[in-house]
Structure 1
């Protein structure tokens, strides 16, 4: 279970990561805003959905050292909480998802610091990718560089048609360093990924959907949170399923994609075997027999 954190010291303002745990008791190891069950500000009443919200408005949610540190703590806390069923990653800043690295901070770093920071950011994004539950990126605004790499680490991406996305690092004489060169070609194909990275091209939501970069595109609404609302609706679709099955299904897919088919099928077999002795599997069969919704407990 996540534990109630100590609030940061007075004057703390650098890199806020807002966490909304919807109908879950508890919290974040960060400066946060926590909505209790039933609070209308949470925007959802479904149990088990956790919303991670970037809120560094003065810097367009740019990834500073402090923000990456807080993200790492948040992801680490979520990793072992069995009550968490789905994680939605969003921005609390209108028109922005994440602008990528904090270039003002980067300009003050020694080259050795840059290497260390990029390694930390890469490790944090890898941890996000390896969360055992489904993750959804809700892209209601601009996602560039490391911002798009964050989204690529999520299982599913939903974007507003007006959102802008791109891996633009080559414009700065560097390359994507937090997984972009690996996850983008695995998502949209090698040739097109090379074209987008070589050209530093930025695409909107409609084009992103057409090339397979995102799963869903929605027209933006007046509130500027259309992608977030679609992501929450999608997250709710996942909730009725067996928690153990969801976790091992993700594991089977992720591991299987990195190996040949024969090895992948062996991974599937091993993962399926993990569901056989569970109480949830028996509950699913009983619910089917009794013509009622199953009551899964993740056991």
Structure 2
């Protein structure tokens, strides 16, 4: 499948999605959203892929925000539709049936940080700068940033980042729980792949249910979602293989 603004590489059970607009620091535009919809349609249905890494091309930028030139003349109705589309795509990533890891290799600003927030895990390079600068344009984060950031770092820190529009370093992002780990630019992708390789050794069925349960943790039905998922897994092949491998003192071979 061809994508205009994305490169897709597949290595064994791991897919690497690269936002490929280096001339604009990988800024999000309508074409990027179209390609993200296409690629995540494919990734959701492709059973040979058990983990996804998303990153930006080059070493300067993960995604440096939305393409302002594209929406500078929008009216209210167009802006609402743009926000709805961003929400739809990022919710698709957040609810994907396999883990998505953001390898933040530089600027992750505005919509770029919101993209990273929709991923399940975030690794960053030590030159990464993260922030939500929308209020400097007279806007607010419109792709889920006001909702996901407080859940990760707390309401006070989220308010500080959004109201001040300041960029923070990768190390600061790690200290507040916004990213999991920080590596050198040269190490970032390899370290992210190592994590993905560890993940794909485990039960795909278990991980899919875990994603669903964790994503429900903020809702009133979170506990019941966990209970139901736990019970449902007892009828799955991965559970039988995992228990058999444990009893037989061997490594499980999940299909």
TM bracket (short chain): over 0.9
**CA RMSD, 1 decimal:** 1.5
2:96: which partner in 1?
131
Give the SS at the match of 1:256.
coil
Given the alignment of the two structures, is residue 268 of structure 1 paired with residue 234 of structure 2, yes or no?
no
> Partners in 1 of 2:192 and 2:44 — Cα distance?
20
* 8 Å contact kept, 1:164–1:205: yes
Q: 1:92 aligns with which of 57, 61, 65?
A: 57
Structure 2: gaps (5+ residues):
none
Q: 2:156 aligns with which of 157, 176, 191?
A: 191
Given the alignment of the two structures, is residue 61 of structure 1 paired with residue 26 of structure 2, yes or no?
yes
Per the TM alignment, residue 110 of structure 1 is displaced from its structure 2 partner at its CA by: 4.3
Give the SS at the match of 1:68.
helix
* 8 Å contact kept, 2:59–2:185: no
Per the TM alignment, residue 230 of structure 1 is displaced from its structure 2 partner at its CA by: 1.6
> Partners in 1 of 2:231 and 2:48 — Cα distance?
22
> Partners in 1 of 2:218 and 2:73 — Cα distance?
39
Given the alignment of the two structures, is residue 248 of structure 1 paired with residue 209 of structure 2, yes or no?
yes
> Partners in 2 of 1:250 and 1:83 — Cα distance?
18
Given the alignment of the two structures, is residue 294 of structure 1 paired with residue 252 of structure 2, yes or no?
yes
Per the TM alignment, residue 238 of structure 1 is displaced from its structure 2 partner at its CA by: 0.6
> Partners in 2 of 1:268 and 1:163 — Cα distance?
35
* 8 Å contact kept, 1:139–1:228: no
Give the SS at the match of 2:191.
helix
* 8 Å contact kept, 1:56–1:93: no
> Partners in 1 of 2:114 and 2:243 — Cα distance?
40
Per the TM alignment, residue 80 of structure 1 is displaced from its structure 2 partner at its CA by: 2.2
Relative contact order: is structure 1 or structure 2 higher (C-alpha 8 Å, sep ≥ 6)?
A: 2
Per the TM alignment, residue 279 of structure 1 is displaced from its structure 2 partner at its CA by: 1.7
1:278: which partner in 2?
236
* Residues 250-269 of structure 1 deviation map (CA, whole Å, 9 limit, x = unaligned): 1111112323xxx4332211
Moved more, 131-140 or 115-124: 115-124
> Partners in 2 of 1:265 and 1:142 — Cα distance?
36
Per the TM alignment, residue 69 of structure 1 is displaced from its structure 2 partner at its CA by: 1.0
After TM superposition, list the pairs within 5 Å mapping 1:145-184 onto structure 2: 145-184=110-149
Per the TM alignment, residue 98 of structure 1 is displaced from its structure 2 partner at its CA by: 0.4
* 8 Å contact kept, 2:26–2:57: no
1:114: which partner in 2?
79
1:20: which partner in 2?
9
> Partners in 1 of 2:78 and 2:157 — Cα distance?
32
Structure 1: gaps (5+ residues):
9-14, 23-46
After TM superposition, list the pairs within 5 Å mapping 1:23-62 onto structure 2: 47-62=12-27
Q: 1:200 aligns with which of 122, 145, 165?
A: 165
Q: 1:233 aligns with which of 174, 187, 194?
A: 194
Higher helix share: 2
Give the SS at the match of 1:136.
strand
